[in-house]
Amino acid sequence: MKLHFTGIAAEAGLLPGIGELAKELLFIEAVDGQPVRVELSDGGLEVGLEDGVAYIRYERKHQFFRGLGLLVQYGRNGRAFHIKEEQQFDTIGPMFDLSRNGVLTVDSFKFMLRKMALMGLNSVMLYMEDTYELEGEPYFGYMRGRYSPAELRDIDDYADRFGIEAFPSIQTLAHLEEFLKWEPVSGYKDTKGALLVGDEAVEALIGNMLEAASAPFRSRKIHIGMDEAEELGRGKYLDRNGYRSRFDIMTGHLERVLEDARSRGLKPMMWSDMFLKFASADGSEHYDADTPIPEEMARRIPKDVDLVYWDYAHQEQEDYEKLIAKHRPLGCNLVFAGAVWVFNTFGVNYGLSLNATDAALQVCKREGIREVYATMWGDDGMESSPFGALLGLQFYAEYAYTAGKPAWGQVAERVKFCTGIEAETFLKLKYLDETPGAEPDNRKQSNPSKFLLYQDVLLGLFDKQIEGLGMSAHYAKLEQDILSGRSKDAELDYIFEVPEKLCAVLKRKSEIGTELKRAYDAGDCAKLRAIAEDVLPAIAEDVKELRAAHRRQWLRMFKPFGWEVLDIRYGGVLTRLDTACVRLLDYVERRINVIEELEQERLVYSSVNRFNNKGAGWCSYYYRMASPNVFFHVLNPF
């Protein structure tokens, strides 16, 4: 396909972005191509083909690139068409978690920016706790894959080609465990993850953070974090200053950070959860919609910081309405952050993500919220992939260009065009965790894809949890479903190799602990020998294939730092399978009289997490999945 862009394409600075997307869309820019008239519009985005002439009329630069995708999508057959869209949110885009081991390479980031451009997204937030360089602080992001200023400028320059605003999201209060763990910087520390508020060196450090994080970007926006700071004032600060209310400490600290941001011409935003917690009955509930914000509290909160209301799990519009209403007395501009659930799983919880997004964005439109983000957190090691979340981002994008609720057919058609992958193929990722017995659409965030891989076959911590749920059959079927949905020619097909191979592991491993316990209790030594000599070695070979596939994916997508954590986890699975074989053969060949691990009664891991005695449940941390014994012990957590 050949296209020739006329009108304002060159003077508006569109040609560099057109050149990048030509590779994605497989067209050639040539003077003898299909004429495409490019014009500014005062009424949204218009794309069409009439009387042999194509046109794209747009208000803002990023809209042109969505329009370019629509033109190629609907104009390839040469038939006349006309599309008109009004953008419903001024600002919409993803937040990439670049702090929990998965630091996207610059090339991977550019790949995501091209997909965002085709979707029509116009903002991207880079969540970096310590993964950017800080002059004078060699331990900041040490061995963590931190970005150099040149890398961040490269990302920003590339985003700007498509009219996408890139900006940093940092932490200026809590969530700094990975920096504060180092002994040479202990002077900055109040508690394990929180800075020592009021300390002169800490205030200088924060000024350094604001400068270093913002300098590579055109945007003057910066997210200053300050969420989940429950530890605030409860460590070294308490020893120095005595007891002060967390609200007093935080508002004083916030004002100092804002003063520093103002002096640099920055426009800050922050997470809102701590203010809601301060107002709640027990001082800890983020989603308490019934307790009003006290007038005195609202008066003391600075009004020149945008508050980001984050909410990832509510399914009902009424919940969002109540919580947005609770924010209103604070008097600040309100921003919304939802999620595409890649947290703490190998898959994507699309059931929860799409339903929560649907409810949230309908309310945001009615309530006049003009800025929306889709977070993709990498909690506990980032086993999943932001590339698997592209269907979720497409859902956000179609919401942004549809007055009401986008039709699912529209979303599916667009994601296939923008990514080369069918919507149904993306949706298969949810079944890694939406297993038999799960809440509808996995509303409670069950994550057996992770804990059934990492649990020890001899200890069987989750065996009682999954009893009778038919996990082996579920994963055997899902393996075939994923395989049948793959398209080897698609650029993104490789992201489905890890889920497919994980299913190959779990169809055998998920219930092997139950088989072991049953055979041991029955004194069935022949069965135990067969498991030791045949089944467990076969599982180990499948784990090796999974690890190799995961390593290929990681090194193609992320910087190498952080992969060592998953290498260690896979190594743990393999060595424990080896030990299980040795223990079983020692028993059946009478070198030991009992296998003490199999003598133990199996208990439900968590009655709360099992959700009314059904479903596989949830576990947040690898070290709790792998063993009930001590991985580490910290005498002083602060």
pLDDT tens digits, 578-636:
999 999 999 999 999 999 999 999 999 987 665 556 678 999 999 999 999 998 766 55
Distance (Å) of CA 390 to CA 83, 94, 123, 341, 375: 23, 10, 15, 11, 12
Amino acid sitting at position 292 = P
pLDDT at 521: 98
Given a contact cutoff of 8 angstroms between Cβ atoms, the answer to whether 279 and 287 are in contact is no
pLDDT at 608: 66
pLDDT at 610: 54
Nearest to 385 by CA among 255, 267, 264, 494: 494
Task: Give the separation between CA 108 and CA 95, rounded to whole angstroms.
Answer: 15
Q: What is the DSSP letter of 48?
A: E
CATH 3.20.20.80 domain locations along the chain: 91-429
Q: Give the bridge partners for 165, in sequence order.
A: 123
The H or E element spanning position 248 is helix 246-263
Positive or negative: CA dihedral 580, 586, 587, 588: positive
Residue-wise DSSP of 334-350: EEEEEE---TTSSS--H
Terminal-to-terminal C-alpha distance of the chain: 62
**CATH for 91-429, among 3.30.9.100, 2.40.50.180, 3.20.20.80, 3.90.950.20?**
3.20.20.80
At 403 the three-state DSSP class reads coil
Question: If you count DSSP H runs as helices and E runs as strands, how many of each does the chain have, helices first?
Answer: 24, 14
Q: What is the DSSP letter of 189?
A: B
* Close Cβ partners of 344 (under 8 Å, ≥ 6 residues apart): 379, 380, 383, 445, 447, 450, 618, 620
Torsion of CA 125, 130, 135, 136, to 10 degrees: 160
Distance (Å) of CA 630 to CA 21, 625, 626, 635: 51, 12, 11, 13
The H or E element spanning position 160 is helix 149-161
pLDDT at 638: 54
Task: Give the separation between CA 356 and CA 438, rounded to whole angstroms.
Answer: 17
Distance (Å) of CA 387 to CA 361, 379, 556: 22, 16, 12
Say which CATH topology domain 444-626 has: Four Helix Bundle (Hemerythrin (Met), subunit A) (1.20.120)
CATH 3.30.160.230 domain locations along the chain: 2-85
CA angle 310, 221, 266 (to 5 degrees): 125
Task: Give the separation between CA 340 and CA 520, rounded to whole angstroms.
Answer: 43
pLDDT at 43: 85
Task: Give the separation between CA 321 and CA 309, rounded to whole angstroms.
Answer: 12
The H or E element spanning position 37 is strand 34-40
Spans of the chain, pLDDT less than 70? 608-614, 633-638
The H or E element spanning position 309 is strand 306-310
pLDDT at 284: 78
Distance of CA 637 to the CA centre of its chain: 27
Task: Give the separation between CA 108 and CA 200, rounded to whole angstroms.
Answer: 39
Given a contact cutoff of 8 angstroms between Cβ atoms, the answer to whether 402 and 66 are in contact is no
* Size of the chain in residues: 638
Task: Give the separation between CA 190 and CA 240, rounded to whole angstroms.
Answer: 10
**CATH superfamily label, 2-85:** N-acetyl-beta-d-glucosaminidase (3.30.160.230)
Other CB atoms within a 10 A radius of the CB of residue 590 amount to 8
Torsion of CA 532, 537, 540, 542, to 10 degrees: -130
User: What's the token pair of residue 16?
Assistant: 């560099």
Task: Give the separation between CA 331 and CA 340, rounded to whole angstroms.
Answer: 28
Given a contact cutoff of 8 angstroms between Cβ atoms, the answer to whether 39 and 69 are in contact is no
CATH 1.20.120.670 domain locations along the chain: 444-626
